[in-house]
Structure 1
Amino acid sequence: MATFATPVRSASLQLPALLCILLCSEVWVLQCGAAIGINYGQVGNNLPTPAQVVSLLSSLRVGKVRIYDVNPQVLAAFGGTGIELIVTVPNDLVQPMAASAVQAMQWVTANIKPYFPATRVTGVAVGNEVFTDDDAALKASLVPAMRNLHAALAQLGMDGYVHVSTASSLGVLANSYPPSQGAFTPECAALMLPFLRFLADTNAPFWINAYPYFAYKADPANVSLSYALSDPYHVGAVDPYTHLQYTSMLYAQVDAVSFAAARLGYGGIPVFVSETGWPSKGDADEVGATVENARAYNRNLLVRQVSNEGTPLRPRQRIEVYLFALFNEDMKPGPTSERNYGLYQPDGRMVYNVGLAQQQTTSAASLSLAASSAPPTTGVGKDMTRLCLLSALAILLTSQAFLLG
């Protein structure tokens, strides 16, 4: 049964050397406690105010948020909260910013400096999914724009706090099956070299928007649903070249990007997930878009994050994952699924309980393991049960330390 999204192709780089590059370069260690984040989109006419959003996020103790603009009301509302924020330069400003260092400085001065450091802006995404855009001039402008933006941040003494990168779609890969054969498309490869060099020079991560839902929707007869949902009890798939076992398609996709970067000589760059999610509702032809699957997908990722889990390639490096999205957004174009990725309705009602439950007595969030049916208790199931119990205990201890501190 095929469980990856793209066909096998032969590798041009010797696998042992490639593995050595990757495994010996794990120098990226997360300093923060929780690596889970969430995307806060605003393409709706009925969304709560930024202050109400901050209150919700604080009650859930979500510590990382990504927005798709530099909305001044949002930036001001996040001031003093301690929540880390990734902001976005829209695609239509990439070319002007590439052409003018002054333009980059003006953007930073107007959109980040007034709120920093009270608002913890930790990243700037320059454009979104630029490498798979049809505009050749836009793609050629991306890295020059990033360099000008980084130079502006450095001039203001902010480059040590704010990373500059861009979020790419999984379409930058020509191959993702098996992960060890990950390679960029010929169209992207030439653009990737200066981009990866910039990330290495500035200690910035590679952000990928990855949605196993699309792989399942495209071929539900051959793609395992449990594997796409990152079910930890599923046997998963084994990479025939590395013999690494993958129980999560998302983690396999992340490792495929790491291998692709290593093929270009940049295996040490961390790969983080800037977007991933599963729709709770879709059109008749959108197979798998259900509340049950959406709950399972996001919950499985939360459990993995709480367990400090890394990918099979980099098991000791927990990856940052930003769930998409906080709210259902009623003005998004496209199929029904596009408007139904949210964990919450705009009025604050849960679309489904993913396990982030507000505790009335402590105002802290914990992962409510009882919200799901009991896991199996034999073999791998026993290990996962212990892991979940230890994860729940870790959260309780963290919550107590937070309250006492």
Structure 2
Amino acid sequence: MAFSSHSASEKPFRVTILLLLELLMSYIGASGAIGVCYGRNGNNLPSQADVVSLYKANNIGQMRIYDPDQATLQALKGSNIQLILDVPKDKLQDLTDSAKAGDWVQTNVLAYSADVKFRYIAVGNEIHPADAEAKFVLPAMQNVHNAIAAANLQGQIKVSTSIDTTLVVNSSPPSAGTFSTEASSYITPIIQFLAQNGAPLLVNVYPYFAYIGNTAQISLPYALFTAPGVVVTDNQYQYKNLFDAITDAHYAALEKAGAPNLEIVISESGWPSEGNAAATVENAGTYYKNLIGHVNGNTGTPRKPGKAIETYLFAMFDENLKPAGTEQHFGVFSPSKAQKYQLTFA
């Protein structure tokens, strides 16, 4: 056979190529890894040290926290857990002052950066264009980025913001997705900043809310990744699940906004287990299990095939101080640290 023998000189080359491929695959796997958001809006939750231990015990390699809680940051030291750290809404105006932004970064990021693996700083979560805080987001992002760059960590820690899906309209079919007129003036300069600095846009994607808001046109199997075949055909793109469709509507919107190569990170996605007819333990367990399998399969979306989708489940625990109803029941663990569903994260 023509391909059955190789000279000795080819072997080092082949070994090098194999090693490079292994490194590439490990990078792709890391990029598509599942994280879990750690909210603390409960009065019955484990200590921060116990929570970090629970992440490690379950091979959860990525975490999102919504404020720079010092006890959490201390517990993360040496854990190798990669972190999204949020700038809370009430701090955005302060960080439009470059000196205050520098102090915030020094206290909450640089003081820990030797031992904590910061991945992204999310400057604001689900800020809407009409919000009073909207005008603070981009200046705060710029100042936080500059403070990180001053420490020469801009290649390691990316600065972004996290949006919800209300900024994109005409999302069915996904290729029609575009940022609303109101959102465009707010988000376009942010998109330009992200593109200039090689940072992704963080998007909170909830098929659950899309489904309960339109049960007449969206089927439960489509929302839960259990549809037996293609549900939506959009030109050359075929969709079997709503998660991909929502994500691709945002990719389509980014293309129309002049950023076709901007990455998206799913900074929240979850399904509640109580509080609504569709919010059952069975449905939530099915959603989380299938979402993890989809992300870890590195299949990407129809619009971005083969591109790993870095995704953060919402949330680690049920949070009993949130508003009554479904908001209290998004946890994949109970406050007792028991798994609500049999999930394998890695």
Q: TM-score, normalised by structure 2?
A: 0.89
Structure 1 SS opposite 2:160: strand
For 2:258 and 2:161, the matched residues in 1 are separated by 19
For 1:224 and 1:43, the matched residues in 2 are separated by 32
Matched positions, count: 320
For 2:81 and 2:122, the matched residues in 1 are separated by 17
Pairing 1:136-285 to 2, within 5 Å after superposition: 136=132, 138-231=133-226, 233-239=228-234, 242-282=235-275
The residue identity in structure 2 corresponding to 1:116 is S
Pairing 1:71-90 to 2, within 5 Å after superposition: 71-90=69-88
Aligned equivalent of 2:318, options 328, 344, 347: 328
For 1:344 and 1:287, the matched residues in 2 are separated by 21
Q: TM-score, normalised by structure 1?
A: 0.76
How big is the shift at 1:30?
4.0
For 1:59 and 1:35, the matched residues in 2 are separated by 16
For 2:227 and 2:303, the matched residues in 1 are separated by 16
- Contact in 2 for aligned 1:220/1:287 (Cα 8 Å): no
Partner of 1:21: none
How big is the shift at 1:352?
2.3
For 1:206 and 1:351, the matched residues in 2 are separated by 30
The residue identity in structure 2 corresponding to 1:81 is S
- Contact in 1 for aligned 2:89/2:124 (Cα 8 Å): yes
The residue identity in structure 1 corresponding to 2:257 is L
- Contact in 2 for aligned 1:232/1:300 (Cα 8 Å): no
Pairing 1:267-306 to 2, within 5 Å after superposition: 267-282=260-275, 286-306=276-296
Aligned equivalent of 2:109, options 112, 117, 120: 112
Partner of 2:131: 135
Please say if 1:348 is aligned against 2:299: no
Partner of 1:319: 309
Question: Structure 1 residues 135, 305: closer, same or farther in 2, change over 3 A?
Answer: closer
**1:295-335 deviations in Å (ceiling 9; x for gaps):** 111111111122112011111211101000110011012x4
Pairing 1:1-80 to 2, within 5 Å after superposition: 30=28, 32=30, 34-80=32-78
Partner of 2:24: none
Stretches (4+) displaced over 3 A: none
- Contact in 2 for aligned 1:254/1:272 (Cα 8 Å): no
How big is the shift at 1:133?
5.7
- Contact in 2 for aligned 1:94/1:126 (Cα 8 Å): yes
**1:174-216 deviations in Å (ceiling 9; x for gaps):** 2211110010011110122211110001100011111111121
- Contact in 2 for aligned 1:126/1:166 (Cα 8 Å): yes
For 1:31 and 1:342, the matched residues in 2 are separated by 24
Question: Structure 1 residues 55, 71: closer, same or farther in 2, change over 3 A?
Answer: same
For 1:189 and 1:134, the matched residues in 2 are separated by 12
How big is the shift at 1:264?
1.4
For 1:312 and 1:170, the matched residues in 2 are separated by 19
- Contact in 2 for aligned 1:227/1:234 (Cα 8 Å): no
Query: Percent identity of the aligned residues?
Result: 39
Partner of 2:22: none
For 2:29 and 2:236, the matched residues in 1 are separated by 30
**1:20-43 deviations in Å (ceiling 9; x for gaps):** xxxxxxxxx747265211101000
The residue identity in structure 2 corresponding to 1:48 is P
For 2:196 and 2:148, the matched residues in 1 are separated by 15
Partner of 2:16: none
For 1:246 and 1:265, the matched residues in 2 are separated by 24
For 1:348 and 1:107, the matched residues in 2 are separated by 32
Q: Give unpaired runs (5+ residues) of structure 2.
A: 1-26
Structure 1 SS opposite 2:183: helix
- Contact in 1 for aligned 2:31/2:310 (Cα 8 Å): no
- Contact in 1 for aligned 2:202/2:267 (Cα 8 Å): yes
Question: Structure 1 residues 251, 195: closer, same or farther in 2, change over 3 A?
Answer: same
For 1:173 and 1:309, the matched residues in 2 are separated by 24
Q: Give unpaired runs (5+ residues) of structure 1.
A: 1-28, 357-364, 367-405
How big is the shift at 1:233?
3.2
Partner of 1:5: none
How big is the shift at 1:122?
1.1
